[in-house]
Amino acid sequence: MYSLTFLTRQCHISVAVSVNCVGRYVESAGIVPLVSDSKVSADGAAIEPPSYASIRVAVVTGGGHGIGRAICRRLAADGKRVVVADIDEAAGKRVAQDVKGIARAVNVADPDAIARLVADVEASEGPIDLFVSNAGVGFGDDAGLAASAAGAIGNVADRWQPCWQINVMAHVYAARALVPAMIERGGGWFVNVASAAGLLSQIGDAAYTATKHAAVAFAESLAITHGDDGIGVSVVCPQAVATRMIGIEDDSNTLEGGFGGNDVDGVLRPEAVADRIVAALEARRFLVLPHPQVEAYEQRRAGDRERWLEGMRRMRRRIENT
């Protein structure tokens, strides 16, 4: 069975190649940094990111609903000071009251808004140790056309722009605002919530799939570039989760939802995803797969791309005929 993922929200291969890249060379064992601007400790070792136990202040975007709300609750239960950031101000305030945190109304597609959020929180609460970029959007392909501007849902002129701004650039804006300060004070953590669509594909939403792939790639770049600076990065790639993104309202007891086959491996509760994110932070792990089957699917995709594409086309036909 080939997998896909939902609208909400690594097999490593070493090859012998040569590149002309300042400060690096590539050998058959992988990429070996020869010159780096990264900070190192007095004994020459790379700086480790902070432990989960040491995290004091955390910001969670999209914290008013779904996975974001569950992350806020789990972090608060673990004694963290939580800033609930959401464009839905009322929802953010409800969660903040619930977790005894603070709420901030934020449009994550606006780089100035992210910069203000970071500055305001650090001025009032102290250094941000953990930034969770959880906000995300998906609209679906209109009329079954992958390149359509309109979405199957939502009233937007061109769905590609909000998908790009919220699913990718919001992560960039957070890193832009925080990385220099984190390096200066010795480290911090970013958790970027992507999707299994960022490793595989979401049938019926090309914009979502493309931008989630970009989100995973940016998280990898962030980890490669700043891992030696004491900055930890985790990217979260779930399949179907019981949120409004797949038609399940907050506090609903149902696990019946999803579309485009994204529930192929079951629908998880947001709380289960939050628990797995915390486990990854405790283990200082980059890739978080709440549905573990995704690892095998990604390996199959990498191992035989033609076969994987044909399997996905078969699944698409089957979905269209049900």
Q: Which residues are catalytic?
A: 208
> Can you spell out the DSSP letters for 89-134?
HHHHHHHHHHHT-EEEE--TT-HHHHHHHHHHHHHHT----EEEE-
CB atoms under 10 Å from CB of 256, counted, come to: 11
| Nearby residues of 228 by Cβ (< 8 Å), 6 or more positions away | 36, 38, 39, 40, 46, 47
Give the residue among 190, 192, 194 at the shortest CA–CA distance from 230. 190
Strand partners, 255: none
CA distance 198 to 183: 28
DSSP state of 46: B
| Nearby residues of 93 by Cβ (< 8 Å), 6 or more positions away | 84, 103
